[in-house]
């Protein structure tokens, strides 16, 4: 059978399969009419001109039990391995996918315009659920990304700084949004957040539990409404942190300024001006947008408490060694942190960010995943490590602030002892002879780090409560002898 006979047979069979629709002529690439340069499809242009036509086309792609799917624009059929060739020059393409029986599968918008792609890469930089680096950019119905950034996109399209070609392409996208997002926008106006305050009688009909996320257990759960109370923040938590005042002030200022700047950017964005910041604001956002700091867990907890922000703790054991699982879970953590304006703490980060080498492909991939994911996080990230020299050089340049904890001297250890023991006393244990003099004696006698002092105080507190006795210096010293501490005081 010749190729021409085979094409005729395919044409006849396609008419039989699609008997529920109007019979239409079948065309192949050789049969397509390209004489009119402004015809239905235009000339078959090279890939360099993909998405160059400021126009929108709506096509239907129907699956078949054999061969390639049938792509139907208006009244023409186009089939073959390169069935999308006639539409590559269109800036926007709406593809309606159907099953063999004509049942709808899904609709997706394919963005081929270079102008629109660059605009979305700028406006949707925080949207991690769409690959903005591919051509075309594919957004499935209900087009959530376009809906969530609709105001920014419309303001961007009206910007006077754009050229005529860019403006023509952006106009096509806005027109598509006006038609396809109209229903969602009407519903949003009807059920606008905080638009209606329920009465006490209506409140009795609501569920007794709320769905929420436990930062301690890293899981979603239901919480009794009666048990949900406002957060009680510790007043002046930095006062108890044994660190140079200049260091504490620097970190607190960076974190506070970052989230204050973020709030200002959000306000500007709602006015439709977030896409065009001044050069000064743009520079500040680059410096502070991805704030990454090396620090100890206790410092991170204290900074989060002082800034009145939630803290999302990520331990090394929580992330898988599998690259795909690690990237997915880490991205999920950062997405939640961005939504909640939470500080992220990655403990023992050197496990994932050790220097790359030619002999360990898996570790190289793991480092690359962390670099790619952390690079685009618009939040504050704290990292802890005691192997700073093991970090990959590519990540070292992305650290904004590095804090080195020196070995504790005796006066600092005495303050830590005092704080730890006072905390134990607040938990129900009675202090006997553990006054300031006893704390100074413990600091002089035992060269411990902050974590060891805290653990020892907590253990002594637990034993004192269980035995119904007072928390004494003798009990603490016995516990120290029992534990046989023999560690480097500079190592935490």
pLDDT classification of 91: cutoffs 50, 70, 90: very high
Lowest pLDDT segment from 242-246, 252-256, 293-297: 293-297
Determine the pLDDT at residue 270.
36
H helices present in 204-340, as ranges: 245-270, 279-289, 297-307, 323-340
Predicted pLDDT at 118:
92
222 confidence band (pLDDT: 50, 70, 90): very high
Q: Is the pLDDT of residue 58 over 90?
A: no
Q: Which fold has domain 410-485?
A: Helicase, Ruva Protein; domain 3 (1.10.8)
Does pLDDT of 336 surpass 50?
yes
Task: Work out whether strand 137-140 and strand 104-111 pair parallel, antiparallel, or are unpaired.
Answer: antiparallel
Where do you find CATH 3.40.50.300 in the chain? 237-260+287-402
pLDDT at residue 295 tops 50: no
CA angle in degrees (0–180, nearest 5) for 358-290-320: 45
What is the pLDDT, as a whole number, of residue 168? 93
Residue 334 has pLDDT above 80, yes or no: yes
DSSP 420-436: HHHHHHHTTPPBSS-SH
Q: How far apart are CA 56 and CA 67, in angstroms?
A: 27
Band (pLDDT 50/70/90 cuts) for residue 294 is very low
Joined tokens for residue 31: 């049969």
Instruction: Say which residues have a Cβ less than 8 Å from residue 221's Cβ, sequence separation at least 6.
Output: 211, 212, 213, 214
User: How far apart are alpha carbons 11 and 388 in whole angstroms?
Assistant: 68
- Looking at per-residue pLDDT, the higher value among 486 and 274 belongs to 486
Is the pLDDT confidence value at 10 over 50?
A: no
pLDDT by residue (tens digit) across 229-239? Answer: 888 888 877 77
Q: How many residues does the chain have?
A: 492
pLDDT surpasses 70 at 251: yes
Q: List the end-to-end C-alpha distance of the chain, in Å, as a whole number.
A: 79
> pLDDT by residue (tens digit) across 365-409?
888 888 888 777 778 888 887 777 777 777 777 777 777 777 777
pLDDT in tens, 96-117: 888 888 888 889 999 999 999 9
The per-residue pLDDT for 193 is 64
| pLDDT score of 16 more than 60 | no
d(C-alpha 305, C-alpha 186), whole Å: 40
Q: Could you tell me which residue, 144 or 197, shows the higher pLDDT?
A: 144
Would you place residue 471 in the very low, low, confident or very high pLDDT band (cuts 50, 70, 90)? confident
User: Residues spanned by CATH 1.10.8 within the chain?
Assistant: 410-485
How deeply is 399 buried, as exposed, middle or buried, from its count of CB atoms within 10 A (0-12, 13-18, 19+)? middle
Ranking 41-50, 170-179, 224-233 by mean pLDDT, the lowest is 41-50
pLDDT over 90 for what percent of the chain? 11
Is the pLDDT assigned to residue 216 strictly greater than 50? yes
458 or 290, which is more confident: 458
What DSSP character marks residue 485? -
User: Is 276:161 a contact under the CB 8 Å cutoff?
Assistant: yes
pLDDT of residue 191: 64
CB 156 within 8 A of CB 119: yes
Backbone angles phi, psi at 294, to 5 degrees: -90, 130
Measuring CA to CA, which residue among 194, 157, 163 is closest to residue 178? 157
Average predicted confidence (pLDDT) for the chain: 73
Q: What angle do CA 327, 331, 335 make, to 5 degrees?
A: 175
Q: Cα Rg for the chain, rounded, in angstroms?
A: 31
Q: Shortest CA distance to 294 belongs to which of 346, 230, 237?
A: 346
pTM of the model: 0.55
What average pLDDT does this structure show over 231-256?
A: 75
What pLDDT is attached to residue 467? Answer: 78
- State what percent of residues in the chain have pLDDT above 70: 72
CATH entry, 237-260+287-402, from 3.40.1360.10, 3.40.50.300, 1.10.3720.10, 2.40.50.140:
3.40.50.300
* Sheet hosting strand 311-314, strand order edge to edge: 311-314, 343-346, 380-383, 291-294, 401-402
Nearest 5°: phi and psi at 402?
-120, 130
Strand bridging mode 343-346 / 380-383 = parallel
pLDDT at 440: 81
Q: How confident is the model at residue 92 (pLDDT cuts 50, 70, 90)?
A: very high
Confidence of residue 77 (pLDDT cuts 50, 70, 90): very low
156 vs 123: CA distance, rounded Å:
9
Query: Cis ω on the peptide bond leading into residue 142 (within 30° of 0)?
Result: yes
Other beta carbons within 10 angstroms of residue 124's beta carbon come to: 20
In this prediction, residues 292-319 reach a mean pLDDT of 76
Q: What is the sign, positive or negative, of the torsion defined by CA atoms of 458, 462, 468, 474?
A: negative
pLDDT of residue 178: 92
Is residue 67 a contact partner of residue 60, using CB atoms and an 8 Å limit?
no
Partners of 57 in the β-ladder: 93
Q: Residue 76 — very low, low, confident or very high, per pLDDT cuts 50/70/90?
A: very low
* Contact status, residue 181 vs residue 147, Cβ threshold 8 Å: yes
pLDDT the model gives residue 138? 92
Q: Give the whole-angstrom CA distance, residue 395 versus residue 393.
A: 5
Instruction: Please report, for residues 276, 295, 347, 399, 431, the alpha-carbon distance to residue 355 in angstroms, rounded to integers and kept in the order given.
Output: 38, 20, 17, 15, 49
Buried b (16+ CB within 10 A) or exposed e, 178-216: eebbeebeeeeeeeeeeeeeeeeeeeeeeeeeeeeeeee
Select the more confidently predicted residue: 191 or 147. Answer: 147
């Amino acid at each position: 059978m010749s190729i021409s006979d085979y094409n005729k047979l395919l044409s006849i069979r396609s008419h039989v399969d699609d008997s529920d629709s109007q019979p239409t002529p079948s065309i192949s690439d050789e049969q397509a009419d390209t004489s009119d340069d402004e015809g239905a499809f235009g000339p078959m242009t090279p890939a360099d001109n993909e998405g160059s036509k400021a126009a929108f086309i709506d096509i239907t792609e129907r699956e078949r039990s054999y061969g390639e799917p049938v792509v139907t624009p208006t009244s023409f059929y186009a089939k073959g391995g390169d069935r999308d060739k006639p539409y590559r020059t269109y800036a926007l393409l709406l593809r309606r996918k159907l099953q063999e029986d004509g049942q709808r599968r899904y609709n997706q918008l394919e963005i081929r315009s270079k102008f629109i792609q660059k605009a979305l890469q700028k406006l949707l930089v925080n949207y991690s659920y769409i690959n903005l680096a591919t051509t075309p950019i594919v957004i499935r119905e209900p087009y959530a990304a376009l809906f969530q950034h609709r105001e920014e996109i419309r303001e961007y399209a009206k910007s006077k700084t754009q050229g005529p070609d860019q403006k023509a392409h952006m106009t096509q996208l806005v027109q598509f949004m006006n038609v396809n997002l109209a229903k969602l926008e009407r519903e949003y106006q009807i059920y606008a957040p905080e638009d209606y305050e329920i009465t006490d009688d209506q409140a009795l009909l609501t569920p007794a539990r709320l769905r929420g996320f436990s930062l301690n257990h890293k899981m979603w759960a239901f919480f009794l409404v009666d048990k949900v109370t406002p957060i009680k923040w510790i007043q002046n938590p930095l006062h108890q942190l044994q660190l140079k005042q200049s260091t504490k002030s620097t970190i607190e200022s960076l974190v506070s300024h970052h989230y204050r700047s973020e709030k200002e950017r959000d306000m500007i964005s709602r006015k439709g001006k977030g896409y065009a910041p001044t050069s000064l604001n743009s520079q500040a956002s680059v410096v502070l947008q991805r704030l990454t700091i090396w620090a100890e867990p206790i410092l991170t907890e204290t900074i989060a408490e002082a800034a009145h922000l939630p803290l999302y703790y990520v331990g090394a054991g929580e992330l898988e060694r599998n690259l795909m699982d690690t990237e997915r879970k880490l991205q999920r953590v950062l997405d939640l942190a961005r939504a909640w304006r939470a500080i992220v703490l990655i403990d023992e980060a050197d496990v994932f960010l050790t220097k790359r080498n030619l002999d360990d492909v898996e570790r190289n991939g793991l480092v690359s995943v962390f670099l790619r994911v952390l690079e685009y996080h618009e939040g504050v990230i704290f990292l802890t490590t005691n192997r700073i020299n093991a970090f990959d050089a590519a990540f070292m340049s992305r650290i904004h602030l590095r804090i080195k904890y020196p070995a504790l001297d005796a006066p600092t250890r005495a303050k830590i002892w005092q704080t730890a023991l006072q905390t134990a006393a607040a938990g129900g244990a009675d202090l006997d002879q553990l006054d300031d003099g006893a704390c100074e004696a413990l600091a002089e006698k035992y060269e411990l780090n902050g974590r060891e002092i805290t653990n020892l105080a907590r253990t002594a507190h637990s034993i004192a409560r269980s035995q119904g006795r007072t928390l004494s210096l003798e009990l603490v010293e016995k516990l120290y002898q029992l534990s046989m501490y023999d560690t480097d005081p500079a190592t935490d």
